[in-house]
């Protein structure tokens, strides 16, 4: 029996008497005394409700997955005598393991999301004092009791996720080799092949992350630690997207990026609701506020899921008539109907259950949330069945070049082809839209309060994200796969031009001015989180310009001199990661080196001079190194592409080295412009 015991000061009292604890809501706990000790027994409704919900949700998910597998023909394939076959066990166990892994992953992410973002902080916890008389409202180090239970629940679900991922890896290997699992496990010659199969490797990566979460959730009790676990859990749901149908679709870059956004939206949406639905011991007033926060997040998740789903399907079902002319299309329509039902549930929450919850009644919210979660689980099962169903056969891939690139080989670069022949990258375009919309909303809020904000900063911010969009989604993105020199232009735009303009836009100062301040320290908002992050001790070295410069240098050396460049061309995951790293490391460096915006690191003049000297020198040395190479970076990739126009691979690489070295001139110009602007513009304080 779980009990919380408080000793009376006088130690008096004998026997057992049942009383209600006046300090705690009646729906949370009841009180008794045993031998002078006051005992609080939490009701076990949460456990029973969680168990019942888990059974119903898993049953609904498995049932719809089975229906989709049968309807799509994934489990009733005809076995031809003499040909290898994994057997019915693998055909059924593989999607079942996927269903369990997806449900457990959504629950893990959701409980950690609730603990890090939706839960109130304990009122008695200590806030950080920074030595200047100011206390940081967001600096509470420990999470509350409800958040602690959510973290422990995430640990248990991560253990289920781990087992399901390992089972999925085994059955995936069985499916790929078309042999029963028992034969695969007993054959020692198979094991060296494990890491050559992307579908198996990604599941092993997921299992490793799930194992780390299982152990970490047992010991983490801080807000920052919980946030780190949340980010790790979100990363853990991403690897399968790189080896599924999306990875083999036409325009696979768009399909994979859209699937990444789709998966993230689903797990945040589903998991957050799960945590709130099982928060039986959270006081109603706190649950109402947490649900209000979640409602805003759910609206964004719905938009993300819808947009990414449309982009994903565009590459698989074309023309649209395939929706009703194929079994795959009918399953897609069923999933769309389920998504529409979930959107309707969200609308009911906003109009009815959330107002009732704010009024003190939690019954309607709980009941609707439980029904919605069952529909969510069924939708996940339907999605798993859909993932095992082959899409309609499209036009066959014309050649190896198209299969490698995901699009046809572009012609010689012209201004028209670069500006008009776009290859959208959903992740960077989505990030640009959100960043611009948030910035404009902040400027509008300042102007409504009568506070000025220089137009040059807004223009700089907009220009920076236009550059990001051009570098990642215009025709230049297509040429980045076939020309080393085009890749260098992309890299310069992402690591130099865009970051410098972002810094001039002063987004941190704008956020600290525009975001509202939360008076209740139990419920810190985005402004308090940002302020806490800027003042954290670790931020002083994580966000230090020297660290950013070192990271950028290591990545550049690895890419151009250690063979990472060709791996990046073949791996969309690494491609996205390195582009993101270039943008982030460039921004962090110029953020500290120029010193225009609020920053935890404030280098002195000598340090800035050294940093700027390093920034000017690094492209020169890298460019000279590339010019001196006698072998081509990515030689095998370019040989397979067989580009029929333009300079040779080695000549184009030398052109890329020249671009890299000449970039120093543009770098110096932007540095001087930043220094002059910083000298003329007074640094505003945080609260200005």
Span 537-547, pLDDT tens digits: 787 888 888 89
Predicted pLDDT of residue 400: 76
Kindly tell me if the per-residue pLDDT of 101 is higher than 90. yes
CB 635 within 8 A of CB 570: no
Helix 327-348 / helix 45-72 crossing angle, nearest 10 deg: 150
**Which value, in Å, is the radius of gyration of the alpha carbons in the chain?**
28
- The mean pLDDT value for 569-584 works out to 91
* Per-residue three-class SS string for 157-226: HHHHHHHHHHHHHHHHHHHHHCCCHHHHHHCCCCHHHHHHCHHHHHHHHHHHHHHHHHHHCCCCCEHHHH
Supply the pLDDT for residue 667. 65
Q: Determine the Cα angle at 234 with ends 496 and 262, to 5°.
A: 85
Q: Which sequence spans correspond to the domains of the chain? A: 4-42, 45-77+84-123+139-387, 421-680
CA dihedral 68→71→72→75, nearest 10 degrees, is 90
Task: Place 134 in a pLDDT band, splitting at 50, 70 and 90.
Answer: very low
Place of tokens 């809501």: 25
pLDDT bin (cut points 50, 70, 90) of residue 15 is: very low
Q: Model's pTM, two decimal places?
A: 0.85
Give the per-residue pLDDT at 88: 82
Give the highest mean pLDDT range of 213-217, 223-227, 365-369: 213-217
Instruction: Give the highest mean pLDDT range of 63-72, 240-249, 258-267, 303-312.
Output: 258-267
pLDDT given for residue 25 in this prediction:
43
Tens of pLDDT along 593-608? 877 777 777 777 777 7
User: Which tokens hold the place of 128?
Assistant: 């950080």
pLDDT of residue 234: 95
Instruction: Give the pLDDT of residue 585.
Output: 92
How does pLDDT run across 604-642, given as a tens digit for each residue?
777 777 877 787 788 888 888 888 888 888 888 888 888
Distance, CA of 207 to CA of 162 (rounded, Å): 5
Residues in the chain: 688
**Cα maximum dimension of the chain:** 94
**What distance in Å separates the CA atoms of residue 176 and residue 170, rounded to the nearest whole number?**
10
Mean pLDDT of 526-533: 85
């Amino acid at each position: 029996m779980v009990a919380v015991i408080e000793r009376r000061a006088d130690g008096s009292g004998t026997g057992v008497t049942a009383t209600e604890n006046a300090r705690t809501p009646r729906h949370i706990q009841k009180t008794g005394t045993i031998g002078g000790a006051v005992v609080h027994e939490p009701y076990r409704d949460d456990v029973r409700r969680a168990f019942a919900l888990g059974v119903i949700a898993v049953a609904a998910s498995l049932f719809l997955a089975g229906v989709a597998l049968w309807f799509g023909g994934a489990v009733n394939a005809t076995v031809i005598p003499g040909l290898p076959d994994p057997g019915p066990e693998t055909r059924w166990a593989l999607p079942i393991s996927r269903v369990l892994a997806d449900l457990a992953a959504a629950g893990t992410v959701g409980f950690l999301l609730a603990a890090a973002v939706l839960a109130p902080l304990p009122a008695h916890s200590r806030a950080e004092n920074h030595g200047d008389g100011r206390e940081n409202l967001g600096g509470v180090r420990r999470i509350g009791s409800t958040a602690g239970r959510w973290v422990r629940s995430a640990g248990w679900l991560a253990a289920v996720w781990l087992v399901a991922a390992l089972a999925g890896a085994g059955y995936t290997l069985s499916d790929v080799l078309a042999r029963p699992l028992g034969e695969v496990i007993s054959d020692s010659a198979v094991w060296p092949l494990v890491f050559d199969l992307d579908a198996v490797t990604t599941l092993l990566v997921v299992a490793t992350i799930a194992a780390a979460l299982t152990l970490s959730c047992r010991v983490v009790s801080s807000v920052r630690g919980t946030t780190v676990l949340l980010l790790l859990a979100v990363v853990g749901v991403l690897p399968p997207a790189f080896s599924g149908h999306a990875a083999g679709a036409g325009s696979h870059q768009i399909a994979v990026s859209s699937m990444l956004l789709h998966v993230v939206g689903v797990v945040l949406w589903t998991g957050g609701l799960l945590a709130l639905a099982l928060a039986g011991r959270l006081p109603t007033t706190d649950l109402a506020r947490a649900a209000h926060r979640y409602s805003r997040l759910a609206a964004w998740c719905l938009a993300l899921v819808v947009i990414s789903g449309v982009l994903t399907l565009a590459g698989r079902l074309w023309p649209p008539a395939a929706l009703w002319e194929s079994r795959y299309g009918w399953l897609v329509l069923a999933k769309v109907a389920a998504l529409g039902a979930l959107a309707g549930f969200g609308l009911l929450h906003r109009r009815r259950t959330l107002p009732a919850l704010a009024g003190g009644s939690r019954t309607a919210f709980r009941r609707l949330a439980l029904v919605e979660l069952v529909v969510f689980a069924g939708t996940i099962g339907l999605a798993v069945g859909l993932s095992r169903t082959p899409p309609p056969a499209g036009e066959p891939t014309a050649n190896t070049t198209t299969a490698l690139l995901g699009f046809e080989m572009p012609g010689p670069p012209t201004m028209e082809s670069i500006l008009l022949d776009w290859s959208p990258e959903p992740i960077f375009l989505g990030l640009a839209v959100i960043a611009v919309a948030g910035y404009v909303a902040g400027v509008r809020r300042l102007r409504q309060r009568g506070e000025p904000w220089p137009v040059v900063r807004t223009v700089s911010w907009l220009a920076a994200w236009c550059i990001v969009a051009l570098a990642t989604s215009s025709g230049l993105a297509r040429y980045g796969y076939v020309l080393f020199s085009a890749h260098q232009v992309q890299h310069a735009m992402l690591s130099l031009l865009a970051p410098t303009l972002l810094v001039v836009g002063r987004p941190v100062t704008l956020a600290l001015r525009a975001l509202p301040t939360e008076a209740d320290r139990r419920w810190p908002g985005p402004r308090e989180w940002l302020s806490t992050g800027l003042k954290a001790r670790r931020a002083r070295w994580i966000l230090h310009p020297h660290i950013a410069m070192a990271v950028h240098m290591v990545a550049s050396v690895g890419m151009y001199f250690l063979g990472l460049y060709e791996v990046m061309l073949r791996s969309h995951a690494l491609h996205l990661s390195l582009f993101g790293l270039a943008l982030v490391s460039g921004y962090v460096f110029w953020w500290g080196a120029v010193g225009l915006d609020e920053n935890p690191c404030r280098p002195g003049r000598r340090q800035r001079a050294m940093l700027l000297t390093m920034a000017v020198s690094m492209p020169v040395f890298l460019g000279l190194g590339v010019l001196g190479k006698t072998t081509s970076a990515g030689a095998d990739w370019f040989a397979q592409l067989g580009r029929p126009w333009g300079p040779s691979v080695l000549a184009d690489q030398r052109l890329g080295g020249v671009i890299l070295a000449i970039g120093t001139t543009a770098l110096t110009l932007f540095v001087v412009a930043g220094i002059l602007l910083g000298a003329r513009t007074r640094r505003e304080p945080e609260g200005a």
